[in-house]
Structure 1
């Protein structure tokens, strides 16, 4: 036993000295192993730091209070609630209580429900428009005495001080950034003459991006509500909660006592020590409400398998990169290893020396990576908090987890050194002492195993995507196929060598050198392959999901178009509103629209007051979908429902519009078609001829569109019957299939409506802009509209906004860095391994630029091979995952049809998109950049040295 320990102690000492002697190579391997450890440890510390403890979470909600009480919204009826206060229900489920919203209705006197002797602090929140540097901005207005000890922890003071006087407020940093104001500025609300001085800035620890203003209780919201009421506007929508401090904490019995008074309680003591389910009346009444809806055992196993696969592939990639470094180190130290053999050492001693090199590097990498990961978390804490929109609870370090990550680094170092150790132990002592490289035979078994793995993995992935909806099968099959390609890499590198005859001298030399030394080239190519394959897979899946979301996005107007509508007082302020929009926005054209009104008096839309009517489009019975009626699941069989799902009558999509009327028809002219981007000469000719233009063919019958005129909408309609009213029919032109009308159902000219006896009033306008209005321009317009006293509906079409472009860019940069790093490592190892050849070139008078050019092409060759193979390998898992997802959605769609659920629309379509721009950047830009970088950092000249004595 002592002999074994002594031999390993000597091996570790030799490895440590060897690592210190060749610092460049050691730092290279150290960086390869430490960088992933740095990332994983930083991610672990970041995730753990972002996870709040129960006490930290309660402090952000309750401050230092014992509980928070609020009106349940059930008109004073007793309730049951869950211990955390998130779920509630009426005690008597047959009681009909109307939920109070925005402070309307009688509500409940919450302070009256507070236990005797308890202290309370009111916390009210409302919304309002405040004047900013650019105009008006909708913000949350809060009234909480933040300086009260009971509120400590709810707000995080950044600078200045909390309000001390009624005319002082404090604002969040997000509000100051958006509004253009600063500490010391004055701010006021629309319709409120009082000006408030901003005396400080704060953050909400859990909502760093919230735009909020805080004032003393009763100083802002109460006068604002009075001012809005006097101006005839809606109130600020005040909701109030009460922080409560009571000796001994707010117990579960106290919670049940306030529940009897229709008050919900969020108690600190109950949240930290919840009662048993048998003591919670809500769970006794509704057992399912306390069911754990976390992932199932199968889902957790799948996530664990995916995580293990990712970790395994990451370790494989590091071993592929670090293994050649240990191999080169072993070859550079072959004379030293030969001396060990000459002095009585056997193969296991040589293996121990090389493995000790991996052990030493792994231990140092674990320590360096963990320390740097902790430092990186400290350095990036503020940007990470701003990105996530929430403060960390503190830097949380879990030693056992970091120890496990460190052991992973040590294991990786040992695994990377296994193959070089075995190879070094097999060389003869004579060949090691004389410096001969010996003959390297290719492994004939590895390509066969790789090909078998590729076939097996592709088969599993295809089966998983085409025959099942098992995502795990697709991921596992793709991983097996990728491992097979990695095993095939030496053979594939040899196939690349056949292209050498078509290349000029320098790239031909680089390619032949790469093929001749496959033991050094193949791992580097495989590492690049693995990194690029993962990037391409994620990029393909992300781009496909992005297209699906883009296709599902319903624009309510063409990009950059602004829609304004106002129904109050028959659009009395509409002309002034139109002028304000044209003043602030870069308007190039305008299309005005009106709406149809019915009844003895002109009423706002959707009101069913006596005397208020409406005009509605009539759907011909022949065009109605049979399954839309009641009891469709009993009237039709599963086969009939599936068949009817493909019927054109049932293929109806409901699209919201920027300007909506109760009659679904806009009164306008050809300018409206132009504003909507509709280029249909037939539609313009139809309007000119007095016909109606219809964009939903379901409502046309014999080229005519029919409206039912309902004089009084307040009269109830018996179930299953149509409302009573006269019908008016219009000659109609149906727009071409596929015409995008942005939710507009029909267009009728004012002359046509007047000729039919329909009464119309101005309603709104579409504004076509040269470019989309900015946030500053919108704030300025809000300010102008506030001065007018108008309150129009304003919609700005900003189009589909996706964050995936940033993701794709980040993936491309990541893959590029890994590719350049792996190719650079392979080039550096190639230069170290081929140093005698380079010195020979220099000795025979080769141009110094040959060394730099050869270095650049060596790096480029490795990058090209890895990127090409990785791009081909990465597309498979993405396509498989999308196909499996398609099967899942189709399965749900078919189940919905079988059960007779209505409104399913068309069958789901899951697009697959290849991110050609990302592939182009990887295949062209990255290898070119790697080659140029390698050429620039390589020295042109090399020093000659004496031949070693044999």
Structure 2
């Protein structure tokens, strides 16, 4: 034991001395190992610090209160809840009856010996320097001790009067206001002075103002109702303090009165699952995350870590090998003085140990420093403040041990190779005749064939993504194992190359122990990039084929569904100012009730309408039944397929960009022009006072369409639950049916304002359509967005640009990443080649080779490694992508066939799942990356090198 310890101490001292002497090579390997450790350690520190403890979460949500009481919306009916208070169901859950609904007052169930405050949150459009901004409005006595921790005051003071508010820094930044400014709401002219700024620790980007309880939301709701505008939609939470807190039994008792409770005591000491009735309810027991999901996450993390270690070992291994060869005289002296092969292995392994420990220390220390320094930036990026700076020594130690293990693994093969050198060969510097192993390529070929077979089996037989991915990984490892033999095959092409590339290729083949790992590292990076790029390009082609345009290319539309369309004209004028408009078509909707109602008929005095389908035109599968059962179940799958294919009543409507009920718009012939609808007789029918419809089931036998005006939405909802017709007045409008196969972009019925007026239908502006000469550029879009923000209207603006892929930037990023890894790996291999072949370069200089030969040779050495890795990686990367796409295709086809066989599918067209090879990405990798690597290596290489003296014998 003592001898073993002393020998390793000596080996470590020798390795430390060698690492210090070869500072360049040591720094390179240290950086390769330390960078991943830095990233993983920083990520661990960031995640742990951002992951709040239970007390920290409670402080930010309920302050110092012992519990938060909320109305569950079940009208006071007893309920069951989770211990966290994030979900609840009625205690009586009958599948045949709807859930209870309504409101209840949580304040009535607060124990008498408690102290409480209210926390109410709503919303309003507030005036700003730029116009209007949709903002959260909170009513909370923020300086009360119960509310401590919910808000963080940054500047100024808390409000003390009813006309004072504080605002988040995000609101002040977006609105252009500051402390001392006044703010008011739309339809509510009362001014409020901003007396302070604050932030919400959990949501730094939220635009919010806070007033005293009862100072804003209640009077604003009255003003909005008077103006016919939507109210603030406020919700109130009661923050309660009580001696002894609220136990789980107390929470369940309060649940019987229809109130949801978030208890500090319960969250700090949660009950067992068996004591939670919510988890016993059928269908809700799996509400929490499953162990399978956690296992999948751990498997993904392990895979990423394993691949990272493989990359580092492949790149760092040759560096240790070159270091061992450059120290072969020293290692030979160890053998000449009685050292065994184990001593030589220990010296080389100690090099990996020294570098690994140094990388672990450097990476961990830098991670601590950078995380602390960048914490404010990280908090702003994540949008929330961290909790306590959470350093978990065991996790950091585990990450650091990965660095040590990586260094040791990278030095294993060089250590074994160095120990096999004879003392004579080490002292004389002769390498001897070396042959590559024939076992490794055979094993690699077996792994390649086995992995390809597994991937093929997974994609064709089982349709399991995991099997395809596992088989592809085995195949790629097989290619990595075959790399030395493949490098030898590449060497046979050297006979057709000029001098410099032939020398570079010959050097790469003769030193496969140095070249093969670098090629394998490039192969792995490129294979992953090609796989993802192929899968992404194929998916992008599929999405492009499935894309449904909401408007003709270049057309623009918008809708305002709220406040009776009061801002429609202003928005339409803004669009016309900033967009090159050819034709403008203003449209309205049918309005039921008083002016100012939204399109959904919400609020007192507001109603809605329905476009009726005559009973004779209703598809038999969708016809209502008296008992409320599903009518489609009365038919066999074959009958359902036949009806979907042949019965015109069962044809499904096409999607589009019309957001009003029944696709009914009130406009004129200009709308047809904008949408490109050139249907015979449509314009004449509009002029004759008829409604133009594109849906045959809507037209009755007498050539009219029916529109039902529903003035009591609640009665209509009750009738719908009882499977009865909604009560309302039906008006008939003469109709013209367009039978041609015309794309209508969701428009089903169009009538003129005169026709609607003649039928006794009220209308309200809802939006406009525009045809354009050209698409607006970025500057025009920004100006239009600013104008719409100043108007403050809640509009849904659509500019039809056709299918726009979001993957182009992603593919570019992948290509750049693969290029950087490739150039880095090739550069490392080139640097090692220069260090290893310094004697050959000096010999070239001695025999009169021009200076540029050194630079040219260096460039071709780097280019050769990059080219070999890119070619092999491109071929290896296609296998997993093709396998995954075949799996996805079979899965979609099977689902489609099952849906069609059962008669439920409306679309009988088989799914389109293409396989597209990203030729642009492959071209960039195959041509640009090796060329760039060669040029970069040539530029950074010195042309001249000193002629060495003859070595002493």
TM range (shorter): 0.7 to 0.9
Tell me the CA shift for residue 484 of structure 1: 0.8
Q: Which runs of 5+ in 1 are unaligned?
A: 101-106
Tell me the CA shift for residue 138 of structure 1: 1.0
Residue 30 of structure 1 is matched in structure 2 by: 30
Query: Residue 210 of structure 1 aligns to a residue in which SS?
Result: coil
812, 815, 819: which is aligned to 2:818? 815
Map 1:269-308 to 2 at 5 A: 269-277=265-273, 279-283=275-279, 286=281, 288-291=283-286, 293-297=288-292, 301-308=295-302
Residue 67 of structure 1 is matched in structure 2 by: 67
743, 748, 771: which is aligned to 2:746? 743
CA contact (8 A) 1:693 1:733 kept: no
Q: 1:646 to 1:450 in 2, by over 3 A?
A: farther
TM (norm. structure 2) is 0.87
Q: 1:372 to 1:945 in 2, by over 3 A?
A: same
The CA distance in 1 between the partners of 2:593 and 2:142, in whole Å, is 53
CA contact (8 A) 2:641 2:904 kept: no
CA contact (8 A) 1:563 1:659 kept: no
Q: 1:429 to 1:579 in 2, by over 3 A?
A: closer
Residue 14 of structure 2 is matched in structure 1 by: 14
- What is the root-mean-square deviation of aligned Cα atoms in Å? 4.1
Map 1:350-361 to 2 at 5 A: 350-361=344-355
Map 1:394-433 to 2 at 5 A: 394-433=388-427
Deviations 1:546-577 (A, max 9, x none): 666676676644567232457987x7886566
My pick for the range that moved more, 429-438 or 17-26, is 429-438
Deviations 1:764-785 (A, max 9, x none): 421346527646644533544x
The CA distance in 1 between the partners of 2:295 and 2:80, in whole Å, is 36
Query: Residue 141 of structure 1 aligns to a residue in which SS?
Result: strand
My pick for the range that moved more, 802-811 or 409-418, is 802-811
Q: 1:91 to 1:304 in 2, by over 3 A?
A: closer
My pick for the range that moved more, 518-527 or 843-852, is 843-852
Q: 1:202 to 1:895 in 2, by over 3 A?
A: farther
Residue 947 of structure 1 is matched in structure 2 by: 950
The CA distance in 2 between the partners of 1:616 and 1:287, in whole Å, is 39
Q: 1:159 to 1:882 in 2, by over 3 A?
A: farther
Residue 510 of structure 2 is matched in structure 1 by: 516
1:854 corresponds to 2:849:
no
CA contact (8 A) 1:306 1:475 kept: no
Tell me the CA shift for residue 112 of structure 1: 2.9
CA contact (8 A) 1:695 1:746 kept: yes
Residue 154 of structure 1 is matched in structure 2 by: 150
CA contact (8 A) 2:561 2:599 kept: no
Tell me the CA shift for residue 592 of structure 1: 2.6
Q: 1:156 to 1:332 in 2, by over 3 A?
A: same
Residue 771 of structure 1 is matched in structure 2 by: 776
Residue 795 of structure 1 is matched in structure 2 by: 797
CA contact (8 A) 1:599 1:614 kept: no
CA contact (8 A) 2:574 2:788 kept: yes
Deviations 1:681-711 (A, max 9, x none): x537754687999896775999x99543256
CA contact (8 A) 1:694 1:735 kept: no
Query: Residue 145 of structure 1 aligns to a residue in which SS?
Result: coil
Residue 104 of structure 1 is matched in structure 2 by: none
Tell me the CA shift for residue 463 of structure 1: 1.1
**Number of aligned residue pairs:** 928
The CA distance in 2 between the partners of 1:694 and 1:149, in whole Å, is 65
1:781 corresponds to 2:788:
yes
My pick for the range that moved more, 768-777 or 123-132, is 768-777
Q: 1:611 to 1:880 in 2, by over 3 A?
A: closer
Query: Residue 887 of structure 2 aligns to a residue in which SS?
Result: helix
Tell me the CA shift for residue 29 of structure 1: 1.4
CA contact (8 A) 1:120 1:244 kept: yes
Tell me the CA shift for residue 369 of structure 1: 1.9
CA contact (8 A) 1:170 1:213 kept: yes
Query: Residue 769 of structure 2 aligns to a residue in which SS?
Result: strand
The CA distance in 2 between the partners of 1:427 and 1:626, in whole Å, is 84
362, 366, 374: which is aligned to 2:356? 362
1:837 corresponds to 2:836:
no
The CA distance in 1 between the partners of 2:595 and 2:474, in whole Å, is 74
Q: Which runs of 5+ in 2 are unaligned?
A: none
Deviations 1:18-49 (A, max 9, x none): 11111111111111222222222222222222
Residue 319 of structure 1 is matched in structure 2 by: 313
162, 178, 182: which is aligned to 1:166? 162
Tell me the CA shift for residue 518 of structure 1: 1.9
1:99 corresponds to 2:101:
yes
The CA distance in 1 between the partners of 2:592 and 2:114, in whole Å, is 58
The CA distance in 1 between the partners of 2:865 and 2:382, in whole Å, is 38
Deviations 1:180-200 (A, max 9, x none): 334454332212223333344
My pick for the range that moved more, 491-500 or 514-523, is 491-500
Deviations 1:768-817 (A, max 9, x none): 46527646644533544x7xxxx785534487787655544443333232
1:708 corresponds to 2:708:
no
Residue 732 of structure 1 is matched in structure 2 by: 738
Tell me the CA shift for residue 416 of structure 1: 1.3
Residue 386 of structure 2 is matched in structure 1 by: 392
Tell me the CA shift for residue 250 of structure 1: 2.3
Q: 1:684 to 1:912 in 2, by over 3 A?
A: farther
Q: 1:698 to 1:847 in 2, by over 3 A?
A: farther
Query: Residue 70 of structure 2 aligns to a residue in which SS?
Result: strand
CA contact (8 A) 1:128 1:189 kept: yes
Residue 671 of structure 2 is matched in structure 1 by: 672
Map 1:399-798 to 2 at 5 A: 399-545=393-539, 556-557=550-551, 561-564=556-559, 578-579=572-573, 581-583=575-577, 587-594=581-588, 615-616=611-612, 621=617, 631=630, 634-637=633-636, 657-668=656-667, 671-676=670-675, 678=676, 682-683=678-679, 687=683, 699=697, 707-710=704-707, 728=734, 730-736=736-742, 739=743, 741-747=744-750, 763=765, 764-768=767-771, 770-771=775-776, 774=781, 777-778=784-785, 780-781=787-788, 783-784=790-791, 794-797=796-799
Deviations 1:73-129 (A, max 9, x none): 2333343333222233334557987534xxxxxx43333322123221211111111
Query: Residue 734 of structure 1 aligns to a residue in which SS?
Result: coil
Deviations 1:708-737 (A, max 9, x none): 32566579799699998868552524235x
CA contact (8 A) 1:283 1:290 kept: yes
Residue 346 of structure 1 is matched in structure 2 by: 340
The CA distance in 2 between the partners of 1:705 and 1:550, in whole Å, is 42
1:871 corresponds to 2:870:
no
Tell me the CA shift for residue 836 of structure 1: 0.8
Q: 1:825 to 1:612 in 2, by over 3 A?
A: closer
The CA distance in 2 between the partners of 1:828 and 1:231, in whole Å, is 76
Tell me the CA shift for residue 824 of structure 1: 0.9
CA contact (8 A) 1:561 1:796 kept: yes
CA contact (8 A) 2:165 2:209 kept: yes
Q: 1:145 to 1:197 in 2, by over 3 A?
A: same
112, 117, 126: which is aligned to 1:121? 117
CA contact (8 A) 2:592 2:601 kept: no
Deviations 1:489-540 (A, max 9, x none): 1222233334434544433332332223222111101001112222333344
